[in-house]
């Protein structure tokens, strides 16, 4: 028994005793006064001949009457208020424990609706609604999440397409590199390579964010971006800035939106996909494992897609020739472990073209 229930029982007992004594005193006074008037009017000699007997008889009558009335009041109060409140209290505790199937049963057999029965009906309607919401909550959450993910993907795809609309020579590059990253990641997980890092990633977010790796090209002029021939040194230095521009764009979106996980992946892809294993890449000249893994993965996929795609300044290399070039760049441009995995499964990348 809880402390609250124990206190309630003590309070009920004291209330019963208090009511009994108050009613007893009132009835005794009323009965004594009534008996005095009766004797005065009827000239009864009851109390004169045997006063002790008369007083005892009066007290027994008053006691029994008081007990009957007090008990009746207690029963009425118990059935009308105490019992309904207890039933509601037990039901509420069950709801707090997660049992939303609990219902409060009717206290009347005649089917009539008094104030308590209406209260019970309202309580049962509330629990039914709670049970329905709880049972469908996951569906509602999944539906809302699906809508948010679709909107998120649409925004990312639209932003990525902005680059391709301007740099129309690389049409489809963003979608192909996203698919290529997935193929390489799946094989790494299968082999248990760098799982201590990959297992901490949200792969769905990672793949979505991969679409933004070239978003910084929005800030590069059309004269450079669409130039049909090779770039001069100054033009190439300008082109290199797309990594930093992309990083800054995504960071600004992150700051304004409050989104962090998804855009954090995107920042890493945008800034690091042109870094090289030997430290000769850009923009920061990172070397070896200092290059974030996301950047090392995208570096291989990005170059492969560039090699097998036709550009105004070059023809599309055959798949086998592109694989040879990537293999020769192992330990210089690309992570050797990732390069070996890429070479082993190179046939899978033909499907993304």
SS3 237: helix
pLDDT in tens, 296-306: 999 999 999 99
Residue 81 has pLDDT above 80, yes or no: no
pLDDT tens sequence across 244-291: 999 999 998 888 877 677 789 999 999 999 999 999 999 999 999 999
Do 209 and 249 touch, CB atoms closer than 8 A?
Answer: no
Is residue 326 classed exposed, middle or buried when 0-12, 13-18 and 19+ CB atoms within 10 A define those classes?
Answer: buried
Q: Is the peptide bond before 283 cis (omega within 30 degrees of 0)?
A: yes
Instruction: Read off the pLDDT of residues 132-176 as tens digits, 9 standing for 90 and up.
Output: 777 787 777 778 777 776 777 777 777 777 777 766 555 588 889
What is the full DSSP assignment across 72-103? HHHHHHIIIIIHHHHHHHHHHHHHHTT-TT--
* pTM for the model: 0.62
Tell which wins on pLDDT, 305 or 62: 305
**Amino acid 223: pLDDT:** 86
- Find out whether 252 and 212 touch, Cβ atoms under 8 Å: no
pLDDT for the residue 87: 75
Kindly indicate the confidence band of residue 8, based on its pLDDT and cuts at 50, 70 and 90: low
Q: What is the pLDDT of residues 179-229, one digit of tens each?
A: 999 999 999 999 999 999 999 999 988 998 999 999 998 888 888 888 888
Question: Model confidence over 12-55: pLDDT tens digits?
Answer: 566 667 666 676 676 666 665 555 555 555 555 555 555 555 56
Q: Percent of the chain having pLDDT more than 70?
A: 71
Q: Is the pLDDT of residue 236 over 80?
A: yes
Select the more confidently predicted residue: 350 or 85: 350
Integer Rg of the chain from CA:
43
Please give the residue that has the higher pLDDT: either 143 or 241. Answer: 241
Burial class (CB in 10 A: 0-12, 13-18, 19+), 161: middle
Q: What is the pLDDT of residue 283?
A: 97
């Amino acid at each position: 028994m809880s402390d609250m229930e124990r206190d309630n029982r003590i309070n009920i007992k004291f209330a019963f005793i208090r009511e009994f004594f108050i009613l007893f005193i009132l009835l005794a006074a009323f009965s004594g006064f009534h008996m005095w008037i009766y004797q005065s009017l009827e000239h009864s000699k009851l109390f004169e001949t045997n006063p002790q007997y008369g007083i005892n008889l009066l007290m027994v009558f008053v006691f029994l009457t008081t007990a009957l009335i007090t008990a009746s009041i207690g029963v009425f109060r118990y059935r009308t208020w105490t019992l309904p409140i207890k039933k509601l209290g037990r039901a509420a505790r069950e709801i707090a424990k997660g049992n939303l199937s609990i219902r409060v049963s009717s206290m009347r057999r005649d089917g009539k609706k008094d104030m308590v029965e209406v209260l019970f009906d309202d309580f049962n309607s509330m629990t039914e609604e709670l049970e329905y919401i709880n049972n469908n909550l996951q569906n509602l959450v999944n539906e809302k999440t699906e809508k948010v993910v679709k909107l998120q993907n649409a925004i990312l795809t639209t932003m990525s397409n902005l680059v391709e609309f301007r740099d129309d020579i690389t049409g489809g590059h963003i979608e192909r590199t996203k698919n290529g990253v997935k193929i390489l990641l799946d094989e790494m997980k299968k082999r248990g390579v760098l799982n201590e890092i990959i297992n901490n990633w949200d792969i769905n977010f990672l793949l979505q964010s991969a679409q933004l790796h070239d978003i910084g090209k929005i800030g590069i002029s059309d004269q450079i971006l669409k130039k049909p021939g090779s770039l001069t040194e100054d033009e190439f230095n300008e082109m290199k800035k797309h990594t930093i521009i992309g990083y800054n764009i995504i960071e600004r979106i992150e700051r304004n939106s409050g989104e962090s996980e998804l855009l954090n992946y995107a920042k890493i892809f945008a800034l690091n996909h042109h870094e090289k294993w030997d430290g000769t890449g850009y923009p920061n000249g990172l070397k070896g494992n200092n290059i974030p893994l996301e950047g090392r993965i995208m570096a291989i996929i990005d170059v492969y897609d560039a090699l097998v795609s036709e550009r105004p300044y070059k023809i599309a290399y055959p798949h086998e020739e592109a694989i040879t070039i990537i293999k020769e760049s192992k330990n210089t441009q690309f992570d050797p472990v990732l390069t070996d995995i890429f070479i082993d499964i190179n046939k899978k990348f033909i499907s993304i073209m």
